[in-house]
């Protein structure tokens, strides 16, 4: 019985297959209980995101195979399609994988922080389903501590590694306070949706979306708590925004030189930051020649992204070193726990053997007609002497050697309340 990490992710499986294996949050409690019942596992957690579905468990080999069969049946995917894209990590490798995943080291975007929150949700869902045992609880708590250390002691999440992140990072350098900066998003696609979320995380209060399709604009506005304007009012919207991020599917510029010139007159030449992350470009290149207008394109941001990625890759090396140390510590603590359990088991077995031997003697004496009270007194005397013999001999030996620290430790193990000489020295 050992730790297991099993699943699929963006490196091993296609989007189409990952979609079939993804689980909604409201399904997980029932799924966990069903999987535990079908496999006989008592400790099981599921991490399910758009890029991965993983199982963390305490299992034997047979149960790991059963879990894979269960996944095949639940998702209606033939084993022949599922097996080639699944990975499986055990013991130390499982611990290391869990830490790397939670720290964003195994993510599509290196160092992304969202996966940490998703790992915490997996922990909470397993706890709610009753499938979070002592071993998994200790694993997750160790993983969370490792991620906090990685985030604190390395720069894994500080450098921009996506165009959207780079755009927001640029805005932070330009404006004193993003919370007071009105932002206009031209386009409501995936890229601008990411930019919008980053902007909200950085405290932007005024966010407006303009898109050719009203339905998609309304959907994005609802997701990020923004307002919308119709496409026909794009030129007017430029007058009030201090920062504009444009990303549409247009084959020709949607923001022309004339539009920006007219807007700057109404703005009384208040500076305007324009970030064009569309390909082909959304903003006419000549706009960069206008006074008080600052235009950055996707090429400008790409150099920032490349530098950020190099910084994160360097930070990932440091992060993995921290994780290796955490894995070693976890395994050491696990061995200590296992050794302690073995000692406790041995102690109970020896105590039970002693009890059974003395009980058998007492029963035999009573059947032989000896007085029951005398038999019980002898039983008590023999059990007491036999049980205390080894501790007594060892305590006297420690005392003879003058080993006060070991005497104090023995006192703690035996649950003695009397003070030892070492205790008296320290008081």
Out of 151-165, 192-206, 210-224, 318-332, pick the least confident.
151-165
| Half-sphere exposure of residue 309: CA atoms within 13 angstroms, side-chain side | 12
Look at residue 97 in the predicted model and tell me its pLDDT: 97
Same domain, 264 and 283: yes
Q: Is residue 354 part of a domain?
A: no
Q: What is the pLDDT averaged over residues 189-199?
A: 89
Percentage of the chain lying above the pLDDT 90 cut: 61
Q: Is residue 361 part of a domain?
A: no
Contact 199, 183 (CB under 8 A): yes
Q: What is the pTM of this model?
A: 0.64
Structural domain span for residue 389: 371-427
Q: State both tokens at 207.
A: 């966010």
* Choice among 50, 75, 86, 247 that is catalytic: 50
Look at residue 136 in the predicted model and tell me its pLDDT: 96
| Half-sphere exposure of residue 297: CA atoms within 13 angstroms, side-chain side | 12
Same domain, 141 and 184: no
Query: Which 3 state secondary structure label does DSSP give 419?
Result: coil
Look at residue 419 in the predicted model and tell me its pLDDT: 61
Residue 50 bears catalytic tag:
yes
Reported as a pLDDT band with limits 50, 70 and 90, residue 421 is low
Same domain, 62 and 88: yes
Out of 21-25, 50-54, 90-94, 333-337, pick the least confident.
333-337
Block residue for tokens 């008080």: 292
Looking up residue 87, the CATH number of its domain turns out to be 3.30.460.30
Q: What is the pLDDT averaged over residues 290-310?
A: 87
Number of domains in the chain: 3
Q: What is the pLDDT averaged over residues 380-389?
A: 88
Reported as a pLDDT band with limits 50, 70 and 90, residue 191 is confident
Out of 402-406, 410-414, 418-422, pick the least confident.
418-422
Look at residue 328 in the predicted model and tell me its pLDDT: 94
For 62-77, how does the pLDDT look when each residue is reduced to its tens digit (9 = 90+)? 999 999 999 999 999 9
Same domain, 172 and 114: no
Q: Name the average pLDDT for the chain.
A: 90
Look at residue 418 in the predicted model and tell me its pLDDT: 59
Same domain, 110 and 186: no
Contact 407, 386 (CB under 8 A): no
CB atoms near residue 354 (< 10 Å)? 14
Contact 347, 183 (CB under 8 A): no
Contact 275, 196 (CB under 8 A): no
CA distance 1 to 60: 5
Q: Is residue 308 part of a domain?
A: no
Percentage of the chain lying above the pLDDT 70 cut: 97
């Amino acid at each position: 019985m050992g730790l297991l990490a099993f699943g699929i992710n963006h490196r091993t499986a296609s989007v189409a297959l990952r979609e079939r294996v993804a689980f909604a949050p409201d399904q997980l409690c029932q799924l966990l209980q069903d999987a535990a019942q079908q496999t006989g596992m008592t400790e099981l957690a599921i991490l399910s995101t758009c890029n991965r579905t993983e199982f963390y468990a305490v299992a034997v080999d047979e149960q790991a195979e059963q879990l894979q069969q269960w996944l095949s049946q639940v998702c209606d995917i033939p084993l022949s399609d599922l097996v080639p894209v699944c990975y499986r990590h055990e013991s130390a490798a499982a611990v290391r994988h869990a830490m790397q995943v939670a720290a964003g080291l195994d993510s599509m975007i290196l160092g992304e922080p969202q996966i940490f929150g998703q790992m915490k949700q997996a922990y909470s869902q397993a706890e709610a389903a009753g499938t979070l045992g002592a071993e998994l609880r200790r694993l997750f708590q160790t993983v969370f501590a490792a991620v906090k250390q990685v985030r604190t002691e390395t720069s894994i999440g500080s450098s921009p590694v996506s165009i959207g992140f780079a755009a927001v990072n640029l805005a932070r350098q330009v404006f004193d306070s993003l919370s007071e900066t009105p932002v206009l998003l031209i386009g409501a696609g995936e890229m601008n949706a990411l930019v919008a979320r980053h902007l909200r995380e950085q405290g932007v209060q005024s966010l407006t979306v303009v898109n050719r399709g009203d339905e998609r604009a309304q959907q994005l506005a609802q997701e990020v708590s923004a307002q919308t304007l119709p496409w026909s009012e794009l030129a007017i919207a430029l007058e009030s925004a201090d920062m504009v991020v444009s990303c549409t599917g247009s084959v020709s510029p949607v923001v022309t030189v004339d539009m920006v010139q007219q807007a700057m007159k109404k703005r009384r030449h208040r500076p305007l930051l324009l970030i064009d992350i569309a390909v082909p470009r959304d903003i006419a290149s000549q706009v960069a020649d206008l006074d008080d207008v600052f235009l950055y394109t996707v090429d400008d941001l790409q150099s920032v992204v490349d530098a950020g990625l190099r910084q994160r890759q360097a930070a990932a090396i440091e992060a993995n070193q921290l994780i290796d140390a955490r894995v070693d510590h976890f395994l050491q603590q696990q061995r200590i726990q296992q050794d302690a359990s073995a000692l406790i088991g041995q102690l109970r077995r020896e105590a039970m053997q002693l009890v059974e031997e003395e009980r058998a003697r007492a029963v035999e004496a009573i059947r032989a007609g000896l007085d029951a009270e005398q038999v019980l007194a002898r039983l008590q005397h023999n059990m007491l002497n036999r049980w205390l013999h080894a501790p007594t001999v060892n305590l006297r030996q420690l005392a003879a050697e003058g080993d006060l620290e070991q005497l104090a430790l023995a006192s703690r193990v035996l649950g003695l309340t009397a003070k030892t000489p070492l205790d008296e020295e320290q008081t």
